[in-house]
Amino acid sequence: MSAAAVFGASGGIGQALAAGLAASGRYDRVYAGARRAQANTFTFDLEDEASIAAAITAMPEIPETWIVASGLLHDTSRAISPEKSLSAMDGATMARVLAVNAIGPALIAKHLLKRLPRDRRSVFAVLSARVGSIGDNRLGGWHAYRASKAALNMLMVNFAIEMRRTHSQAIIVALHPGTVESDLSAPFRGAVPESRLFSPEISAAHLLQVIDGLTPADSGGFFAWDGARIPW
């Protein structure tokens, strides 16, 4: 018997990941989590640690595969949009983007990782973004989002190192889903050629294939949708 869980299952990619996991035939149960209650979902808010702890504690089992598919790039209702320049930076916006993209997933890890099985393979994968790679940054801009994903990537390396001591079969990774048609990318994909734009379903299928192929030696890595390593 096996199970998987997705945090952020209301999002474009998260929804497709939950559906893909369920359709894969590899899991007996798939737990889908969202900020607002929907049919068959657990609820959590990345900016509310107690809700994260409660969601994990309330699960009838600890699945061996976990994907964090939440994230924040823009939010017009709060005047959040990616900065093109130094002068566009705003402290409250930066704090919120860091809270959702880096601190929230870290708090999921805090309440989950030590509960993963020690006697078999387990996976904790977070959706990061190639633009969070420090080594790959040639364009600049998007200060808060890039910094939040770079912070997330660093946290995954840290957690992989810590987990190796007690959970030698645990795999902790950051994944880049490609450029995907979703609310998050909608205002920014004008210049992206059709051939490099994935539907959420195609991206999810790629990501699940990458996850299936991971081994404990990959823990701490940052991988793109095609399985290629991305520099930190």
Least distance between ligand NAP and beta carbon 132 (Å) = 8
In the complex with ligand NAP, the residue whose CB is nearer, 173 or 180, is 180
List 65, 70, 93, 153, residue binding ligand NAP (CB under 6 A): 70
Residue span binding ligand NAP (CB under 6 A) among the ranges 6-14, 21-29, 79-87, 107-115: 6-14
CA distances (Å), 128 to each of 86, 149, 187, 223, 224, in order? 23, 6, 19, 9, 9
Quote the least distance from Cβ 166 to ligand NAP, whole Å.
27
- Min CB(200)–ligand NAP separation in Å: 7
With CB under 6 A as the rule, give the number of residues binding ligand NAP: 27
How many CB atoms within 10 Å of residue 164? 15
Report the residue from 5, 11, 109, 174 that binds ligand NAP according to the rule CB under 6 A.
11
Closest CA to 16 of 153, 229, 217, 203: 203
Distance, CA of 158 to CA of 150 (rounded, Å) = 13
Q: How far is the CB of 42 from ligand NAP (least distance, A)?
A: 11
As given in the structure block, the two tokens for residue 160 are 């992989």
